[in-house]
Amino acid sequence: MSTSNPGKLYVQKFLLWMRHVRKRADYVARPKVWILSAILGVVVGYGMVGFARGIHFLTEVFYGVGPQTLASGARGLDPARSWIAPVIGGLLVGALLYLGKRMKWLPEAKCQGVAEVIEARAGPPGHISFRGGMTNTVVAAVALGSGASAGREGPAVLFSGTMATVMSEKFKVSGTDARTLIGCAAAAAVAASFNAPIAGVLFALEVVLGNYALSIFGPVALASAIGAMISRFHLGDAHAFAIPEYGDPKAYEVPLAALLGIVCGAVSFAFLQLNAAARVSMRRFLVRYKKVEPAMLPVIAGAIVGTIAIFFPEILGVGYETTSKAISGEYALPVLTILLILKIFATVVCLTCRFGSGVFSGGLFLGAISGAAFGATLGLIMPGASADPAFYAMIGMGAVSGAIIGAPISTTLIVFELTGDYEMTIALMVAVGIATLISQLSFGSSWFHWQLNQRGYDLSEGPQGVILQTIRVRDVMRPMTDDSQPLDAEKPRLRANQTLGEALARMSDLNLDGMPVVSTEDKSKIIGYVTQIKALNVYNRALVDSHIEHHR
Cα maximum dimension of the chain: 96
Smallest CA-to-CA distance from 316 within 304, 305, 328, 301 is with 305
Tell me which architecture the domain covering 255-447 has in CATH: Orthogonal Bundle (1.10)
pLDDT at 123: 66
Measure the CA–CA gap between 227 and 300, rounded to whole angstroms.
36
Structural domain boundaries in the chain: 26-235, 255-447, 459-551
CB 15 within 8 A of CB 201: no
| DSSP-derived secondary structure for 55-116 | HHHHHHHHHSS-GGGHHHHHHTS-HHHHHHHHHHHHHHHHHHHHHHHHTTSSSSSS---HHH
Give the Å distances, CA to CA, from 492 to 356, 483, 495, 512, 526. 45, 20, 10, 10, 12
pLDDT at 29: 61
pLDDT at 247: 65
Measure the CA–CA gap between 350 and 412, rounded to whole angstroms.
26
pLDDT at 378: 87
> One fold for both 255-447 and 459-551?
no
Give the Å distances, CA to CA, from 503 to 128, 460, 486, 500, 525. 27, 20, 20, 5, 18
Measure the CA–CA gap between 54 and 59, rounded to whole angstroms.
8
What is the pTM assigned to this prediction? 0.85
Tell me which architecture the domain covering 26-235 has in CATH: Orthogonal Bundle (1.10)
pLDDT at 289: 87
Exposure pattern of 469-487 as b/e (b: 16+ CB <10 Å)? bbbbbbebbeeeeeeeeeb
What is the tens place of the pLDDT at every residue in 324-359?
899 888 999 999 999 999 999 999 999 999 998 889
Give the mean pLDDT per block of 10 residues along the chain (552 residues): 66 76 64 92 96 95 92 91 95 94 84 87 77 93 95 92 93 88 94 89 90 86 96 84 70 87 96 95 90 90 96 93 90 94 96 91 94 90 72 92 90 78 81 94 90 78 73 85 74 85 88 86 83 88 72 62
What is the tens place of the pLDDT at every residue in 4-34?
577 777 777 777 777 766 666 665 667 889 9
What is the tens place of the pLDDT at every residue in 374-390?
998 988 887 766 667 78
- The CATH topology of domain 459-551 is CBS domain Like (3.90.1280)
pLDDT at 445: 86
pLDDT at 1: 45
